[in-house]
Structure 1
Amino acid sequence: MSYKIIIDSCGEFLDEWKDDERFESVPLTLNVGGETVIDDETFDQAEFLKKVAACPECPKSACPSPERYMKAYECEADHIYAVTLSSELSGSYNSAVIGKDLFLEENPGRNVYVFNSRSASVGETLIGMKIQECEEAGCSFRETVERVEKYIAEQNTFFVLDDLETLRKNGRLSRVKSLVASALKIKPVMGSTDEGTICQLDQARGINKALIKMVQHVAEKTENSETKVLAISHCNCRERAMLLKDALQERLTTKEIIVLDTAGVSSMYANNGGVIVAV
């Protein structure tokens, strides 16, 4: 059976997906100081980070419209899947569901399912990989949905921020706390809850100590790691990501570790120097 996997642009694309018609990235839009940036193949990370640093206001994102998702669903595939960033962080999931309902009104009987990743960034990438794995293994549409939903329920996402300005600008960190944290070089270790919200797991003085603590949290929460693919995304800090990969390989045995650069929405959340791990 043929299939199509649609992932909103918060999820990083593997190189082999970019020219594969079975995969489509549906872009969110980013707004920095009144300027709109489309999170597609034209996204310039370096330029975007400069704009974010220069703007006193917090950058914002807008989810794709239901009509945009409808357009993505319009294909000949037998099985159609969409993966969105956590419904607790964006309206992308609801938009994809509305788009699905509108599509099915005009195309009754088609197989379309929308996954709420309860994650972001490479968490979505891994979900796309899991869907592809199930389809290539010959699973039915229903079997794929059940297996991937189980996978999502067991997945964990972690990240460390080097630059706290976005947290300060969006009100999650007061200016005083931000100044104190910056002066003391305190870096938060963040994670996702079961519902897909963001929580602070730990903190440390200095980025390297924070990364060590994140590795500890990843190791503690990852069961049966030898059966899993682990993904790392980084915002303009590949060397840091590779050091993190080495540290994780010392603590965990995995099927594979992939390293990707953050796309637009993930760059907005992670900010310059941020790293994200999903497994």
Structure 2
Amino acid sequence: MNDQRTAVLTDTGSDCPPEFVAAHDVRIVPLRINYSDGSTYESGVDISTDEVVARFEQEVPKTSLPSPERIQDELLRAKADGYTSAVFVSISSGLSATCETVRMVARTLDDFPVLIVDTLNIGVAAGLIVMEAVRQVEAGVPLGSLERTLSIAAKNTNVFFTVRDLEFLRRGGRISETIYKLGSVLSIKPVLTCDEEGHYAIAKKARGWERALDTECKLIEGLAAKYPKVRLAVSCTSACADLYDQMEAALRERVDVPVVEVVRSEISPALLVHTGPTLVGVAVQGL
């Protein structure tokens, strides 16, 4: 427990390295994965990324936010463990109702203040904001000052991702039928991001997989130049795990400002449902 006795919680729409989560007692509230036979799983708890991929041939499941009861249970567990307040860092409110549900639950708790941080991001970019929340709490920043600090961190964090296979983005409505057809016929790959409202947006289009990956790095290069130093992140599915080294090397080569670290994290099962098994994402956090 940190000296502030402030717990840090997040959901599985935010990807943090498991070793960081374990070392800093980050509490995880899982999104749910639902199949048509009525079975429901908690993302990363009782179903893994590889298990979701293995079942894709039979069915692409749906996802849903954590129940209010599950959120409440995790907050009360933190209180019972001796924490006196909490910071909940949430997947973008533009992509999920998780953030608003946490707000609703937090209002019902007595003598346990909860700060909710809307990352306006997803995946490893949201994970960078979780990690920053931990650093700030452990540095002794009081709860009353964290909202502004973490809002700035969220504003200064951006994600870009692309996929080799566009089918899952089409099924989930993340790209239009036109973009899907162009991608299939002409091998045009959209590079997606989260806009200022936290909604998915197409940042660029590239012809071919390698150019799409290069475009991600160029976009990071441009954003990184605005800051004195940056923290970077790379996220890959197991099918693309061989690209971690390639992407980190490319980012380090392109980014001219000091790089504090490059975080690596896999994509959670709940996010994989919407992107498919060929995602490669990168993120930058200005410092």
Relative to the length of structure 2, the TM-score reads 0.87
Deviation at 1:274, TM superposition (A): 0.6
Equivalent pair of 2:90/2:118 in contact (CA under 8 Å): yes
**Cα distance change of structure 1 residues 219 and 118 upon mapping to structure 2, 3 Å threshold:** same
**Cα distance change of structure 1 residues 185 and 81 upon mapping to structure 2, 3 Å threshold:** same
Cα-to-partner distance string for 1:216-267 (whole Å, 9 max, x where unaligned): 1111122455532211111121112321111000011310001111111222
Deviation at 1:192, TM superposition (A): 0.9
1:50 pairs with 2:54 = yes
Aligned residue among 36, 45, 65 for 1:41: 45
Quick one: which amino acid aligns to residue 163 of structure 2?
A: L
Cα-to-partner distance string for 1:130-183 (whole Å, 9 max, x where unaligned): 111112222111122221111111211111121111122134445565344223
1:1-279 → structure 2 map (5 Å cutoff): 1-20=4-23, 22-34=25-37, 35-55=39-59, 59-74=61-76, 75=79, 76-103=82-109, 107-108=110-111, 110-173=112-175, 177-223=179-225, 225=227, 227-236=229-238, 237-252=240-255, 253-279=258-284
Cα-to-partner distance string for 1:175-206 (whole Å, 9 max, x where unaligned): 56534422322211111101100111111121
Deviation at 1:41, TM superposition (A): 3.1
Structure 2: distance between partners of 1:173 and 1:154 = 25
Structure 2: distance between partners of 1:182 and 1:39 = 30
Secondary structure of 2:220's counterpart equals helix
**Cα distance change of structure 1 residues 227 and 143 upon mapping to structure 2, 3 Å threshold:** farther
Equivalent pair of 1:189/1:202 in contact (CA under 8 Å): yes
Quick one: which amino acid aligns to residue 72 of structure 1?
A: E
Deviation at 1:98, TM superposition (A): 0.9
Deviation at 1:96, TM superposition (A): 0.8
Structure 2: distance between partners of 1:50 and 1:183 = 27
Quick one: which amino acid aligns to residue 273 of structure 1?
A: T
Structure 2: distance between partners of 1:184 and 1:54 = 28
Identity of aligned residues (%): 24
Quick one: which amino acid aligns to residue 41 of structure 2?
A: V
Structure 2: distance between partners of 1:21 and 1:129 = 9
Unaligned runs of 5+ in 2: none
Equivalent pair of 2:169/2:276 in contact (CA under 8 Å): no
**Cα distance change of structure 1 residues 40 and 118 upon mapping to structure 2, 3 Å threshold:** same
Relative to the length of structure 1, the TM-score reads 0.90
Deviation at 1:63, TM superposition (A): 0.4
Structure 1: distance between partners of 2:179 and 2:246 = 29
Cα RMSD (Å) of the superposition?
A: 2.0
Equivalent pair of 1:235/1:270 in contact (CA under 8 Å): no
Structure 1: distance between partners of 2:180 and 2:19 = 40
Equivalent pair of 1:230/1:258 in contact (CA under 8 Å): yes
Deviation at 1:10, TM superposition (A): 1.6
Equivalent pair of 1:7/1:124 in contact (CA under 8 Å): no
Equivalent pair of 1:84/1:92 in contact (CA under 8 Å): yes
Equivalent pair of 2:106/2:113 in contact (CA under 8 Å): no
Secondary structure of 1:160's counterpart equals strand
Secondary structure of 1:156's counterpart equals strand
Equivalent pair of 1:70/1:102 in contact (CA under 8 Å): no
Unaligned runs of 5+ in 1: none
